[in-house]
Structure formats: structure tokens, C-alpha cells
């Protein structure tokens, strides 16, 4: 990326000619693509010529978004899916086989945790470790380990994985390093800089930003040597080895499972991406001021936010990320009911979802982390009273005033 982050996104579509001199990629809703010379159709199917075959495998509008995400992540190729979960599930299904072993951070998005449980029913063995220390990851490795999975800043307690040292470990051992960059977004952090092989982003969150479309993406950073990966099917080995992984993800993960991002969603997400940097700077600025306000408030006992000096990975987060993000969790003083508190907030909305323009709050143990049960919650450090806050782009004073009145 030669230009800055936002300039690059704004001008990405114009790198190729667009119909009618349009300045952004329009919505191409066609499912079928016709070829005057039927031989070209055959070449597209064989991967010998670029082009579109059938809408389930991609369309020009989604391709324009994929190209933008590749630039944001400094990657070589991206495949979009209809949700972030579809991107994670599609990548797992495409690259893993029964009997493979995966080491995962134990601090996980709830549905990722649930998906990994399902994967283990299909014979993938998944070990969970405290990924804030590379030593724990290294101890869990086995001869059949294929992949290490971590989130940058974990949901909801904001633990920051030992990202760079895990990257070195994976590179040394030839393992796929799969990083969920949703919480940081490529504006705050490019996992490629810590040697990630694959990066997943839930586009639903910060990249879309407006809470009006679901989407997900997997980006190949180009750092992993797919020639050494045993699970590539022979019929995908007829292309450049650099593409083996992403081709297999598109064919096995997207085409076969069918969780395709439609053009309308891709268009909205691309509009969101244009203002990602502006929104994240504002939301992170709000989050830091609010975290300081809440940390000093007598009715709040804990504030988990990487931007506060007492956060265990405060220094690491400062070294790795452009800013500290916009997600935090809090615990109220003994005797205060988290539901009563949430009901007193006037601007802040009690809702799941994160990375929205609006500030959202949720009592996680009773909602998104309820299904996993108390044992797994304890491992993840989730108290019954924990409230997760996803800070939006409201005017800072309004936001702080809302918390002040609700705590009064």
C-alpha cells in the first residue's frame, strides 16, 4: 500500500475501468455470466482464465470488496463470505481433516467456541490455551498440529494474544497461523506483520460499521508455504503454489458450503470500509475517555480496556496496535444489579453486536456467553456481572453524561 489507508480504499475500485465512468463499483446482481466463445467458459471453469462462473463462487461487486480487503491487510488474496462465522467455518472445513490438531486461544468469540466444539465432533482435536503467553501455545503443540488460532483482542475481557511470538513459533514449526482481526480491524493492526498466514475479519463489525449488513472475509497474507501443507487436494495443485490455500478455501469452503456474500451486502460493506479509519479513531478516542471515567468511578470495580495502564497487556497493545480499540468490559460494585444499570442508560443500547456506530452494552454471561455454561465462562474470566461495552462514535460528552446519570 503506497498511499495512506483511507486514500487506498477510496481509489481502489478505479484501478480497473468501471462502466459509464462510475467512480465506484456498482452492484452486479447477476448469478450467471455468459461467454460469446464457449471455450472461454471452459477456461474460466478450469482456472486458466479469470472470470466469473456462477454467482455462488463470487461476483464482480464482491470481488471489488475482496480486492480492498486484500489491500487493507497487505495480503495476496481474499475470499468473502456471508458472515464472519461462515469465513471461519469455511476455512476450517477447507483446510482441516479428521485427525488434525489445532491449538486455539481459550479466549474466544462465543460462536467460534461453539463451532470448534462441532469441529471436534468431526474428528478435529482442538486444545485451548491461554494465548497471552507463547509458552502455553508451544507446550500444546503435537506432531499432528496443523494450525494455531487466536483473536487479536479477545472478546469480552480484552486479553491481547502474544501475537508476535506466536507468529515466530508458527513460522519455525511450519504451522498455519490463523488470526481473527475483527476486534482491531486492519486499520489498527495488520496480522501479516506478526507473520499470520491467514486473517479473518467479521465485516459485520468495524469494517461495515453501520450495523446493516453481515459479512466475513479470509485473507491469505502470502507468508505461508502451501507446498508444505499436506491437506491440499491434488486438483488444486495445477496453479501457482502461492494460490493453493486460497483456491481451496474458495472451492471447498465457499463454493461447496455456499455461504456467499451477495452483491448488495458487498456494496454496503464497501461503503462502510471507506470511513473505517475515521470511525475507529473517533470510537477509540471515546473509549479511552470513557474507560478513564469509569475506572475512577466508585460504583465501578473493574474496567478491562487495553488502553488503561493497569491492563496486563497495555504495553504490548501500545506496541502492536495503532490505538487501543473501542471494546471494553466492566464490573459494577458489589450489590449493584447489571440489569438495573443497563435499563438506566438512555443513549446506550442493550444489544449484542459490536463495532457499530452506536454504543452497545450487553451482560455477556446471561446472553452471548450463556450457552457455553459456567465452567467454560470461568476459564475465560467471565463473571456473571460482566458488562461488555462496544463504544460508538457519539459525541464524547453525551456518552460520558449517559454513564454518569445511570451510575448516579
Ligand X SMILES: *Cc1c(COP(=O)(O)O)cnc(C)c1O
Question: Is 73 near ligand X (CB under 6 A)?
Answer: no
> Is the link from the previous residue into 156 a cis peptide, with omega within 30 of 0?
yes
Q: Which residue, 61 or 155, has its beta carbon nearer to ligand X?
A: 155
Give the residue nearest to ligand X (CB).
Answer: 84
How far, rounded to the nearest angstrom, does the alpha carbon of residue 143 sit from its chain's CA centroid?
A: 28
Strands 125-129, 176-180: parallel, antiparallel or unpaired by DSSP? unpaired
Q: Which residue, 13 or 185, has its beta carbon nearer to ligand X?
A: 185
Closest distance to ligand X from the beta carbon of 155 (Å)? 5
HSE at residue 175, side-chain half, CA atoms within 13 A, is 27
* Selected binder of ligand X within 73, 100, 162, 180 (CB under 6 A): 180
Q: Exposed, middle or buried: residue 186 (CB in 10 Å: 0-12, 13-18, 19+)?
A: buried
Going through 2-134 in order, the beta strands assigned E by DSSP cover 77-81, 101-105, 125-129
Q: Please name which of 169, 174, 179, 182 lies closest in space to residue 208, comparing C-alpha atoms.
A: 182
Question: Is 166 near ligand X (CB under 6 A)?
Answer: no
Q: Which residue, 64 or 80, has its beta carbon nearer to ligand X?
A: 80
* Selected binder of ligand X within 85, 199, 332, 338 (CB under 6 A): 85
Report in angstroms the alpha-carbon separations of 350 from 84, 158, 353, 366: 22, 20, 10, 12
SS3 content of the chain, % helix, strand, coil (to 5): 45, 15, 40
Question: Is 202 near ligand X (CB under 6 A)?
Answer: yes
Closest distance to ligand X from the beta carbon of 217 (Å)? 10
Closest distance to ligand X from the beta carbon of 337 (Å)? 26
Q: Which residue, 214 or 348, has its beta carbon nearer to ligand X?
A: 214
* Selected binder of ligand X within 155, 158, 313, 390 (CB under 6 A): 155
* Selected binder of ligand X within 214, 247, 263, 364 (CB under 6 A): 214
Report in angstroms the alpha-carbon separations of 34 from 55, 392, 395, 399: 12, 44, 50, 53
Neighbour tally for 244: CB within 10 Å: 21
* Selected binder of ligand X within 59, 67, 112, 323 (CB under 6 A): 112
* Selected binder of ligand X within 83, 136, 197, 219 (CB under 6 A): 83
Binding range to ligand X, per CB under 6 A, among 33-41, 44-52, 180-188, 262-270: 180-188
Question: Which residue is it, cell 456498482?
Answer: 26
Backbone conformation region of residue 222, classed left if phi is above 0, alpha if psi is from -120 to 50, else beta: left
Cell of 277: 479509519
Closest distance to ligand X from the beta carbon of 327 (Å)? 9
Distance CA 181, CA 159 (A): 13
Closest distance to ligand X from the beta carbon of 314 (Å)? 20
Closest distance to ligand X from the beta carbon of 55 (Å)? 20
Question: Is 84 near ligand X (CB under 6 A)?
Answer: yes
Neighbour tally for 127: CB within 10 Å: 17
Binding range to ligand X, per CB under 6 A, among 83-91, 121-129, 272-280, 299-307: 83-91
Q: Which residue, 197 or 229, has its beta carbon nearer to ligand X?
A: 197
Question: Is 182 near ligand X (CB under 6 A)?
Answer: yes
Largest separation between any pair of C-alpha atoms in the chain:
74
Question: Is 183 near ligand X (CB under 6 A)?
Answer: yes
* Selected binder of ligand X within 28, 205, 268, 377 (CB under 6 A): 205
Q: x/- contact string, 340-379, with ligand X (CB under 6 A)?
A: --------------x-------------------------
Binding range to ligand X, per CB under 6 A, among 25-33, 131-139, 197-205, 377-385: 197-205
DSSP single-letter state for residue 29: -
Chain residues that interact with ligand X, rule: CB under 6 A: 83-85, 109, 112, 151, 155, 180, 182-183, 202, 204-205, 214, 216, 354
Amino acid at each position: 500500500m503506497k498511499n495512506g489507508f483511507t486514500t487506498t480504499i477510496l481509489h481502489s475500485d478505479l484501478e480497473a475501468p468501471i462502466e459509464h465512468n462510475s467512480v465506484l463499483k456498482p452492484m452486479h446482481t447477476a448469478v450467471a455470466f455468459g461467454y460469446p466463445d464457449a471455450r472461454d467458459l471452459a477456461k474460466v471453469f478450469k482456472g486458466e482464465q479469470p472470470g466469473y462462473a456462477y454467482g455462488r463462487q463470487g461476483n464482480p461487486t464482491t470481488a471489488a470488496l475482496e480486492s480492498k480487503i486484500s489491500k487493507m491487510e497487505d495480503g495476496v488474496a481474499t475470499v468473502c463470505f456471508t458472515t464472519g462465522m461462515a469465513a471461519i467455518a469455511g476455512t476450517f472445513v477447507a483446510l482441516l481433516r479428521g485427525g488434525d490438531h489445532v491449538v486455539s486461544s481459550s479466549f474466544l468469540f462465543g460462536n467460534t467456541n461453539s463451532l470448534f466444539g462441532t469441529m471436534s465432533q468431526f474428528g478435529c482435536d482442538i486444545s485451548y490455551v491461554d494465548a497471552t503467553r507463547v509458552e502455553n501455545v508451544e507446550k500444546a503443540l503435537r506432531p499432528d498440529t496443523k494450525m494455531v488460532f487466536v483473536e487479536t483482542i479477545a472478546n469480552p475481557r480484552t486479553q491481547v494474544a502474544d501475537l508476535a511470538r506466536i507468529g515466530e513459533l508458527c513460522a519455525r514449526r511450519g504451522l498455519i497461523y490463523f488470526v481473527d482481526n475483527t476486534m482491531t480491524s486492519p486499520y489498527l493492526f495488520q496480522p501479516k506483520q506478526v507473520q499470520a498466514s491467514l486473517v479473518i475479519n467479521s465485516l459485520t463489525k468495524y469494517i461495515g460499521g453501520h450495523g446493516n449488513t453481515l459479512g466475513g472475509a479470509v485473507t491469505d497474507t502470502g507468508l505461508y508455504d502451501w507446498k508444505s501443507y499436506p491437506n491440499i487436494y491434488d486438483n488444486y495443485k495445477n496453479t501457482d503454489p502461492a494460490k493453493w490455500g486460497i483456491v481451496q478455501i474458495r472451492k471447498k469452503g465457499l463454493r461447496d458450503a455456499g455461504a456467499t456474500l451477495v452483491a448488495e451486502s458487498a456494496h454496503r460493506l464497501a461503503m462502510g470500509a471507506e470511513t473505517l479509519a475515521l470511525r475507529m479513531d473517533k470510537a477509540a478516542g471515546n473509549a479511552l475517555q470513557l474507560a478513564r471515567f469509569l475506572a475512577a468511578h466508585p460504583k465501578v470495580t473493574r474496567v478491562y480496556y487495553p488502553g488503561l495502564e493497569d491492563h496486563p497487556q497495555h504495553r504490548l497493545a501500545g506496541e502492536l496496535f495503532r490505538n487501543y480499540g473501542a471494546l471494553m468490559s466492566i464490573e459494577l460494585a458489589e450489590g449493584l444489579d447489571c440489569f438495573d444499570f443497563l435499563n438506566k442508560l438512555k443513549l446506550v443500547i442493550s444489544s449484542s453486536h459490536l463495532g457499530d456506530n452506536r454504543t452497545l452494552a450487553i451482560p455477556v454471561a446471561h446472553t452471548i456467553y450463556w450457552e457455553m455454561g459456567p465452567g467454560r465462562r470461568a476459564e475465560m474470566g467471565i463473571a456473571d456481572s460482566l458488562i461488555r461495552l462496544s463504544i460508538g462514535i457519539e459525541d464524547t460528552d453525551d456518552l460520558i453524561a449517559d454513564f454518569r446519570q445511570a451510575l448516579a
